[in-house]
Amino acid sequence: MILAVCLLLTCCAKEGDTVYQWDPDEPKASMAPLVTVIYGIDALGDRSYCDLIYRGVEAAAAKHGLRTMQLSPTSYEEGIGYLQSMFQTVKSQSDTTRRLFVVVASSYDDYIRQNSHLFEGNPYADLLYLETPEPLASGGSTLYLPYYGAMYEAGALRPAFSVIGTTVTLVVSNPVDPTVTGAAKGFADGFFTDYYSVENSWGEKMEKQLNTICLAEKAGEGYNIADSTALSILNEVSGTMVPICGGSGYTLMYLADITLGAYYMGIDVEKVSNNCFMSILKHVDRAVGLCISQWLSPEGMPRHQVLGLKDGYTSVSISPIIDNSYKASFNKNMTEELRRQIHEDAIRKEEAYEQK
């Protein structure tokens, strides 16, 4: 047996020269915990929500000494293939390497819920499913960052920029995903709440108008559109654009800048542009980093977490470079006391909305 082992560890050429001899100091394959992220179709590179998740995961990996694998499928079928491989790994895992699988796209919802119970029998594998308001029935954890509150606050602040009118167009990815419908509802509720009266230069009250454009009809769709489609959408926008549509939103904002098109409100990214006077931000990078730290802790991740405006994981930011006419319009209609009241109301409204 000793001879056999020696033969396995030392190989010689025909002439007798040693080709390979095992080195006890040779680095071994890493057994560090592995975080694997599975995104929606072509989601990475959106320069907003999914890219924030990517940065959050990589920052957590650098902090805790983890390995990462980030997968962005080019089709729904490829995404399902990644999920099948994930569940097969969970069922047949024979080592003790800790693995966290993070699933980002709602288009996989049915498949995830049908198979998440497989995580219950594996002490070394965990699932984090983003972003759903409904916990999984068994196995895995869920995280939800409601946008209702921040959108309510932004909607209530929007008419204060009366110099650019009081007409808004929401561009939503689809009318199905809870994160999208909650955000759109929050903005509309805040927009039509009369915290103050906005008048034009003739002293006449300005009426508010809200339009909606849907990019797709099915869950998980409408987050990635071609430049030509985006240009057509921009031609349909009336007044200020609020793009609640992930990567499609970044395309719309980018093209609005280079074509000197519609004024817009930045979503998931703090844009520095003369066309963008306000941004609504979801700090999902920090939220994912929090979940990874929890996963590594003795207590583990909670089964379900909701982190919104009250917790500081969503926020509203007024652009630091808006010109003086924007500032004068906003300051005329908005006092610090009223701004504080709107923020507090938005927190209460979000809690009430999420309890329904």
Same domain, 75 and 195: no
Q: Are residues 107 and 200 in the same domain?
A: no
Whole-number Å distance between alpha carbons of 49 and 324: 30
Q: For residue 104, give the CATH number of its domain.
A: 3.40.50
Instruction: Please report the pLDDT score of residue 5 as a whole number.
Output: 42
CB of 188 closer than 8 Å to CB of 156: no
Looking at residue 3, its pLDDT comes to 44
* 163 and 245 inside one domain: yes
At 349 the pLDDT is 97
Identify the H or E element spanning 196: none
Mean pLDDT of successive 10-residue segments in the chain (356 residues)? 44 47 56 92 84 95 96 93 92 90 90 92 92 91 95 94 88 92 96 84 82 92 91 93 92 89 85 84 95 96 95 91 71 86 97 91
Number of folded domains that form the chain: 2
For residue 78, the one-letter residue type is: E
> Based on the domain organization, do 101 and 173 belong to the same domain?
no
DSSP 205: B
Same domain, 171 and 42: no
- pLDDT computed for residue 200 by the predictor: 67
Q: Which CATH number belongs to the domain containing residue 335 in this structure?
A: 3.40.50.2300
Domain of residue 76 covers 34-144
Q: Which of 144, 171, 206 is the last residue of a domain?
A: 144
The residue whose two tokens read 């650098």 is 62
Distances (CA, A) of 108 to 40, 78, 115, 220, 232: 8, 11, 11, 8, 29
Long-range contacts: 330-335, Cβ < 8 Å, 24+?
330/157, 330/160, 330/161, 332/160, 332/162, 333/159, 333/160, 333/162, 333/196, 333/198, 334/157, 334/160, 334/196
Q: Do 252 and 121 reside in the same domain of the chain? A: no
Q: Which of 118, 144, 170 is the last residue of a domain?
A: 144
| 253 & 108 share domain | no
Determine, yes or no, domain membership for 299: no
Is residue 4 assigned to a domain?
Answer: no
Output the pTM of the full model: 0.83
219 and 112 in one domain?
Answer: no
Q: Do 173 and 126 share a structural domain?
A: no
Give the pLDDT confidence score for residue 30 in this predicted structure. Answer: 67
- Whether 109 is in a domain gets the answer yes
Question: Nearest-5° angle of CA 162, CA 247, CA 110?
Answer: 120
Residues ≥6 apart with Cβ < 8 Å to 71: 36, 37, 38, 39, 82
Pick the last residue of a domain from 144, 166, 193. Answer: 144
